[in-house]
Structure 1
């Protein structure tokens, strides 16, 4: 079930909301922290203001992109680098005619598969570079756009909590002559602030950071794959590719396919 799940996200969500739930349960009980009008003001208001800031299509695409990042286990750059060098070495030994069979082993890497398909089809190297650079820019722009939407929603959520607090205070002041109605109004006033802070700082901002980190890691891996495809297309020595790939990676992530 959790084979493709980012375990860090799972641990963070469980720990964060678990500690919050424990603090609530150790108090007067969970029911005191449940208020439907507060939920509607914070979540509904945050979504509404976010839709005002962006168009419907952008916000709609943000949901699958966010879930795709959360439910996908991070890939190891060293493993990707080793795959790239091995592919270049195999192409060097067997030639481009062996690439179609290699494609079956990279089904989970659509960017690499597309790059190798262009090499196998005999696409000029300059065109491969141009197409892959455009693809990388498009992928990074899409994920950064989603992170921007989440950042904006994180800014709005506490503001909606403050608006809910003001609504609750107005209701409370209008009901000072009815003590029984003061409690629900005060709950609305306080809980909307709590909900807004939790939504912004425990959900939206961390997810935006996760997506930005994922976009950076994805860009590095795609650069590795693009370099491998172009190297194979030029029929270069795979040792040169290994040296170039290692220059893109931090020291602890560098690979050594060829014995020195």
Structure 2
């Protein structure tokens, strides 16, 4: 689990609370139910309206991944592929079928099974590239849903403020209620901006980044597995795969 999103959000809201306390205000002044319900509820609603029901369901299913998404170290992938290359070199490609039984990753498992079945290298590459493209498209849909809500939220907040100020102007003959009413009106704008920049946009960006890392992982596996099928020497294969990974993502030699 990579806790970057959770840490970032806690720090962001922590900074907000710190500012409010240092200004001598009360945090409860920002937690007014009516504008919060309107902004959050309407933002989700227009997010759903901007796509399809399946898009919304896909985004909901992807939400836990934004907080619990696991980033696979490239070196671990390289070591796994090199181990498979050694097995294939020692026992032949048919031995990969047995190796596939102990693999949890569906992408790798399917690739190994196809190699053991004698699938042509070019056909296997096309199939694996299609799987990568499909996975990337699915991930982009979920990320776009949250990014879209991040775009709507500030405007929804302004709508809430305008509606509340309209009510304020209807009650100018009650000066005692003007202060709380105006404060409540601007809380809608506040939560529109907060939800966009502290929730929806970071979640969308996080899912996009995880999608990029997933595509990189699958691509690394694809190139490695195709090289195994071609009979590449394990040590040279490891060096080739490491050359595909940025230096910062690999463990540094002591």
Give TM-score scaled by structure 1 length: 0.88
Q: How many residues align?
A: 251
Distance between the aligned counterparts of 2:120 and 2:219, measured in 1?
Answer: 18
CA RMSD of aligned residues (A): 2.1
Cα distance 1:254–1:177, how it changes in 2: closer, same or farther (>3 A)?
closer
Q: Decide which of 236, 241, 244 is 1:245's aligned counterpart.
A: 241
Cα distance 1:253–1:68, how it changes in 2: closer, same or farther (>3 A)?
closer
Distance between the aligned counterparts of 2:41 and 2:250, measured in 1?
Answer: 47
Q: Decide which of 21, 26, 30 is 2:27's aligned counterpart.
A: 30
Shift of 1:111: 1.6
Shift of 1:30: 2.6
Matched, 1:134 2:134: no
Q: Decide which of 7, 13, 28 is 2:9's aligned counterpart.
A: 13
Q: Decide which of 118, 121, 128 is 1:122's aligned counterpart.
A: 118
Q: Which has the higher mean CA deviation after the structures are superposed, 226-235 or 51-60?
A: 226-235
Question: Could you say which residue in structure 2 is the equivalent of 1:88?
Answer: 85
Q: Which has the higher mean CA deviation after the structures are superposed, 245-254 or 34-43?
A: 245-254
- Structure 2 alignment gaps of length 5 or more: none
Give TM-score scaled by structure 2 length: 0.90
Shift of 1:121: 2.5
Shift of 1:25: 4.3
Distance between the aligned counterparts of 1:188 and 1:121, measured in 2?
Answer: 67
Cα distance 1:238–1:6, how it changes in 2: closer, same or farther (>3 A)?
same
- Structure 1 alignment gaps of length 5 or more: none
Q: Which has the higher mean CA deviation after the structures are superposed, 198-207 or 69-78?
A: 69-78
Shift of 1:233: 2.2
Distance between the aligned counterparts of 1:24 and 1:99, measured in 2?
Answer: 60
Distance between the aligned counterparts of 1:255 and 1:185, measured in 2?
Answer: 57
Q: Decide which of 140, 146, 149 is 2:145's aligned counterpart.
A: 149
Shift of 1:32: 1.6
Shift of 1:125: 1.8
Shift of 1:126: 1.9
Q: Is the 8 A contact 1:7 1:73 kept in 2?
A: no
Question: Could you say which residue in structure 2 is the equivalent of 1:178?
Answer: 174
Q: Is the 8 A contact 2:143 2:205 kept in 1?
A: yes
